[in-house]
Structures are given as structure tokens and as C-alpha cells.
Copies of this chain bind each other. A is one copy, B any other.
Amino acid sequence: MTQKLIIWTYDWLPEGPRGFVRDLRLRWAAEEAGLPYDVRTIAFEDRATNHLDRQPFGQVPFLTDGDIKIFESGAGLLHLARKSEKLMPRDPIGEAETLQWVIAALNSMEMVTVPWWFLKMSGEHDNGLTDWTDSRLAHLEAVLGQREWLAANSFTVADLLMADVLRVPTVRAHGNRPASEAYVKRMTARPGFRKAYADQMAHFAASDQKRAECR
């Protein structure tokens, strides 16, 4: 018997990051693949120290799959991709294409865009990462202008992840990149994304309710 996946996230969170916490990536992938899962929580309040044995940087999400425990949303996505052809094709070329674009999303895009928007959110609107961000976004725009999917002529976890990178409001509002915008719209219109997003929002809304009752 296959055990249900368990996706771990916080029990509560301020409103700002709701809809963007990375358990959404794992929920979305599980929805696309039709893999059953439960969501469990660790306390937001003591997050700096309460789960370092499960996530050594004190972050969420992490994933339990039977005996396997895995942290980093990117690693969780690649783990789930090995379980379902709906997330990654099984031929070696299709797998390599998916893998390279997953890593590109994490290490060529987010490595620049995340610290860039972090500095902007910290008040440094014109920061030293802007040119680099512009360049990476322009390169990706050129790719997305040529094709519907990043890898293997089909939806893969690479699209799921790249769309999640590009839908961050600060990134999405930056510059005129019609192919990237159309791509984000296409990907976030998928039933799997909509369900994952609605479920994450409902999870945190319910936690507000519980929190209020306990006071």
C-alpha cells in the first residue's frame, strides 16, 4: 500500500506571504500528478528552532513520503517528478530537459530575482542587482516567446516552478515582458494551481479563526 504524501507547512503566517509559501509548489505538483497528500504543520512562532532537525535552515516546506523525508521545495518537486509522468517525461532527453530547467529556475532565475525583490522590499528600490535581474528576465522572455513549455514539449515541474518564480508580484510588475506574462497566466489558470492556491489560502484563513478562538 502506498502511503499518503505529507506536505509540511506553518500552522499560521502573517497575510503578506500567503499564496506564496512554497508548500504551494508541492501541493500544485501533487494535484497535477493526482498524488494523494495530507498537509501537516509546525509552529510558526518557534520556527527559528522548532524544526531544525527536519529543515536545517528553519524553513518550510518539507515532504514526507513513507520513509523518505526531504526538504527544499525544488528537491521535493524533483522527487515527485520521479513518481509521475505527468510531471516529467520518462525518456532520458525529456528528463534532462526538465532537470536543467528546474535548476535554471532555482539557480539562474531565483538566485538573482529573489535577493533583488528582497532588497526592494527592504526599501532599496534601485539596488545593485537590478541590471542582473533585467538581463536574466530578458533571456527568459526570449525563450518563452518561442515556445509554450520549457521542457519536453509538455507541462513539467519545470513550468510549475518557473511560473511560481515569475508570478511573484514584484517580478511580475517589472518591465514589459508579454511572453512571460502570458506564460504566468497560462500556468496559473491550470486547475492544479487554482486548487493548490485556494487550499493554501483556506489553510491560513482557518488558522486565523483558530488563533482568534484561543485568545
Is A172 located at the chain interface by the 8 A CB criterion? no
User: Using a CB–CB distance below 8 Å, which chain A residues touch chain B?
Assistant: 52, 56-59, 67-72, 74-75, 78-79, 92-93, 96-97, 99-100, 102-104, 106-108, 110-112, 114-116, 118-119, 122, 124, 127-129, 132, 136, 139-140, 142-143
When distances are taken between beta carbons in the complex, the residues of chain B under 8 Å from A104 are 56-57, 71-72, 75
Q: Is the CB of B103 within 8 A of A75?
A: yes
Partner of A124, one of B69, B128, B139: B128
Residue of B nearest to A68 (CB): B96
Q: Is the CB of B110 within 8 A of A107?
A: yes
A94–chain B nearest beta-carbon distance, Å: 10
Q: Is the CB of B56 within 8 A of A103?
A: no
When distances are taken between beta carbons in the complex, the residues of chain B under 8 Å from A92 are 67-68
Give this chain's copy count: 2
At the interface, is chain A mostly helix, strand, loop or mixed? helix
Residue of B nearest to A92 (CB): B68
What separation, in Å, do the CA atoms of A207 and B52 have in the docked complex?
47
With A68-B93, A139-B57 known as contacts, the answer to whether A119 contacts B114 (CB < 8 A) is no
Q: Is the CB of A102 within 8 A of B75?
A: yes
Q: Which of A100, A136, A142 has the most CB of B within 10 A?
A: A100
When distances are taken between beta carbons in the complex, the residues of chain B under 8 Å from A127 are 128
Q: Is the CB of A79 within 8 A of B96?
A: yes
Partner of A103, one of B74, B111, B118, B132: B74
Q: Which of A103, A106, A132, A140 has the most CB of B within 10 A?
A: A103
Q: Is the CB of A99 within 8 A of B111?
A: no
Q: Is the CB of A75 within 8 A of B59?
A: no
When distances are taken between beta carbons in the complex, the residues of chain B under 8 Å from A103 are 72, 74-75, 78, 106
Residue of B nearest to A62 (CB): B100
